[in-house]
Amino acid sequence: MCGIVGAVAERNVQGILLEGLKRLEYRGYDSAGMAVLDLQGHLQRGRALGKVAALEERLTREPLPGRCGIAHTRWATHGRPSEQNAHPHQSGERLAVVHNGIIENHEALRRELEAEGYVFTSETDTEVIAHLLERESRQAGDLLAAVRRVLDRLDGAYALGVIHAEEPDVVIGARKGSPLIVGVGIDEAFVASDPLALLQVTDRFIYLQEGDAVRLSAGGRIEVFDATGLPVEREIQVFEHGDGAASKGDYRHFMLKEIHEQPMVIAAALEGRLGERSALVESFGPEAEALFRQASQVHIVACGTSYHAGMVARYWLERYAGIPVQVEVASEYRYRQVVVPEGTLFVTLSQSGETADTLAALRFARERGYLASLAICNVPGSSLVRESDLTLMTQAGPEIGVASTKAFTTQLTALMLLTLALGRVKGLDERVQADLVTALRGLPGLVARVLELDPEIEALSMAFAEKHHALFLGRGALFPIALEGALKLKEISYIHAEAYPAGELKHGPLALVDSEMPVISVAPNDELLDKLKSNLQEVRARGGELFVFADEGVGLEEADGIRVIHLPHVHEALAPILYTLPLQLLSYHVAVLKGTDVDQPRNLAKSVTVE
Ligand code: G6P
C-alpha cells in the first residue's frame, strides 16, 4: 500500500505534494515524508512519524521549498512505523526514493549491498532501491537508465518515485504490480498512486501500464516508456467525478458522507443499464451476450467487503439465473489447484481494482481456461479493469473512508444487474425480470428512506459503546450482510464481532450468549422469516439482548430485551442492499461514541496492494 506523489513544476511543489499526501492518506498513515531538490539543486528531506498532519506541522517549522519533489505516506510492511523507516529513503545526499509495494528479494540485495560497503539506516525493503540506484547511477548515462538497471534487479511489486540532484528538474516514476498514474498539468507534471491525489492541480491523467516507466521534466514534459524500454504513447484520460469527492462537505467524516451518497450512487450504477422490463446485457460490453450464453458456471473472487458482495451474488445467481456459483477470497483462491469446468465465467469484485490478491487471482485465472473474465470495479483505468475481458463500473465515485460503504452497495447493485443479464440469456421468466427491474428502479428511494432512520440508529448505538463483543445473525442472502455488519463494527469501533447464519447458532455460538452479548439481526420479509424468528427466540431464552432490523410488515414488535427498528418493505431479492445501511450507520455511531478514527481505523488501509 502506501501513497506516492511526485511533482515537477515552475512553482514551489511543497503544497502540492502535501495536499496529495493528505488525499492519499487512506492508503496508509503511520508515517509520512517528503524530499525536494531546492532552488540550489540540493536534496532536502523531512519525515515524521504518524499521520500527514505531523509532517505538515514539521514543514511549517522547517519548510521544503523546491520545484521538483517526491512524497510518501506509509503503511508499514517491513519495519515498524518510525521516522527512520519513513520514506523517502536516500543513499548519500543526492538521491531519494519513495516506494509502494514489496521487494521480495530485498534480503539478498541487502547482503550484496552491505558487502559492498553500503550502510543501511532503516529496516525497510525500500532502502535497497536507494542504494542500488546510487550504485547504478554512477555507471548509467542518466537517471532513467539507472532506474531501469535497478528495476531489472527487483522481484516483487512496486510503484516508485525517484529524484536525483544530478538532474534537478526530473522525477522518474515506474510501476509493476502497484498503481501509478501521471497527472498532466499545464507546464507541470505529476505522478501519484491515484488521481484523487492530484485533483487539486489537474483532471487529466495517464494510467501507466504494467512495467511502464515515466520521466517527468521541466515544462510539463512527460515521456513514457514500456517494459522493454521503448517510448510509448499512452492515452490521456479526463477524470469525470470532479473534486467534490476529496472533501467531507458538511459531514463530520468521509464515511458518513459516503453512507449518505448511497441513494445517488445506486441510481448512477443503474443509469443506462435497465430496459423497460429487463437489464441491458450490452452494459457488460459488446461481447457479453455471446459469452453469457455460453456461461454454465460462475467463479467469483474478491477480498474483504467485496468478498461479501460476492457471497450475496451466489444466492442471486443460483436463484434467478440457475447457474452454479463458487465464491472465494482471492488470497486462498490463487494458491489452490482450481478445477475449472468448461464454460466458467470468472468474476472479480473490487472497489479499487488494485488489490494485490484479487489482481493475482485474475492473472492466475487467465491461465486456467476460463470462458472469460469480468471485473466489477469502481475505478476506471485500474489494473483489474484493464486486464479483464469484460467490465462493469460500479459508478460509486471515489470512496475515501477506509471502511467500504457505498462501494459495497453499488457492487451489489451491479451484481443484481449481472444476475438479471445472465437470467435474461438463460430464460428467466419475463415477469420475474420485470418485477426485479421495477424494484431496482425504486431502490434509491427506499435507501433514502432508510437513511432517515439515522437518529433512531444513533440512539441504539449507545447500547454498544461499552460492549466488547457482538454477534450478527442473518439467513440466506442476508447472512453475508450479517458478515459485512460484523466486519464494519470490527473495522471502525474495534469491538470484536462475529456473524453466523442464524440456523448455525445452536451449534456453538449460542454458548456465548448472555446479557453482555448484544445480538444484531436483519429480518426482511422473506421465506426464511419464520425460521429466523425461532432463532431469535433461542437468543431471548438465554437472556441475550436482541437488536432487530425488521420489515415493517413482519409483526416483530419491541418487547423486553428486543429492540426493533422497522425498515420499509422491499422486494425480497433487494433486501441485502437495503439492510446493509442500518448496519453501516450503527457501526459508524458506535465508533463515533468510542472516539476512534472513523475514516482511518488503526492498522488498516483502503487499498491493499501488497499480498
Ligand atoms: C481493504 C479495504 C476493504 C476492502 C478490501 C478489498 O481491506 O480496507 O474495505 O473491502 O481491501 O478492496 P477492493 O478495493 O479490492 O474492493
Inter-residue contact 314 to 300 (CB < 8 Å): yes
Inter-residue contact 328 to 300 (CB < 8 Å): yes
pTM of structure: 0.77
What is the distance between the alpha carbons of residues 137 and 122, in angstroms, rounded to a whole number? Answer: 21
Strand-pair partners of 34: 46, 71
Average pLDDT over the chain, rounded to an integer: 93
Across 177-308, the runs of DSSP E, i.e. the strands, are: 181-184, 189-192, 204-207, 213-217, 221-225, 231-232, 237-238, 297-302
- Separation of CA 306 and ligand 1 centre (Å): 7
For atom 7 of ligand 1, the residue with the nearest CA is 304
pLDDT in tens, 14-43: 999 999 999 888 788 899 999 999 989 999
3-state secondary structure of 231: strand
Q: In the numeric block, which cell numbers belong to residue 255?
A: 464515511
Amino acid at 429: D
Name which of 396, 403, 313, 413 is nearest 584 in CA terms: 403
Residue-level pLDDT at 241: 64
Give the residue, 380 or 563, on which the prediction is more confident.
563
Judge if the beta carbon of residue 411 lies within 6 A of ligand 1.
no
Instruction: Give the mean pLDDT of 362-378.
Output: 96
The DSSP annotation for 378-399 comes to: SSTT-HHHHHSSEEEE------
Judge if the beta carbon of residue 72 lies within 6 A of ligand 1.
no
Residue 490 designated active-site: no
Residue 606 designated active-site: yes
- C-alpha separations of 577 from 124, 230, 440, 444, 472 in Å: 42, 47, 10, 10, 16
| pLDDT > 90? residue 557 | no
| pLDDT > 80? residue 453 | yes
Amino acid at 146: A
For atom 8 of ligand 1, the residue with the nearest CA is 606
pLDDT in tens, 65-106: 999 999 999 988 888 999 999 999 999 999 999 999 888 899
**Which of 190-194, 444-448, 521-525, 571-575 is the least confident region?**
521-525
Judge if the beta carbon of residue 334 lies within 6 A of ligand 1.
no
Judge if the beta carbon of residue 487 lies within 6 A of ligand 1.
no
Outline where 554-611 has alpha helix (H): 575-594
For atom 15 of ligand 1, the residue with the nearest CA is 350
What is the distance between the alpha carbons of residues 161 and 165, in angstroms, rounded to a whole number? Answer: 14
pLDDT in tens, 468-518: 999 999 999 999 999 999 999 999 999 999 999 988 888 988 888 888 889
| pLDDT > 70? residue 3 | yes
Judge if the beta carbon of residue 402 lies within 6 A of ligand 1.
yes
Name which of 33, 40, 37 is nearest 9 in CA terms: 37
- Separation of CA 109 and ligand 1 centre (Å): 31
Residue-level pLDDT at 443: 97
Inter-residue contact 469 to 442 (CB < 8 Å): no
Q: What domains are defined for the chain?
A: 3-238 (3.60.20.10), 248-428 (3.40.50.10490), 452-601 (3.40.50.10490)
- Separation of CA 608 and ligand 1 centre (Å): 7
**Which of 7-11, 200-204, 329-333, 408-412 is the least confident region?**
200-204
Name which of 258, 284, 599 is nearest 396 in CA terms: 258
Judge if the beta carbon of residue 606 lies within 6 A of ligand 1.
yes
Residue 286's pLDDT band, with cuts at 50, 70 and 90, is confident
Instruction: Give the mean pLDDT of 256-266.
Output: 95
| pLDDT > 90? residue 326 | yes
Which of these is catalytic: 22, 257, 488, 606? 606
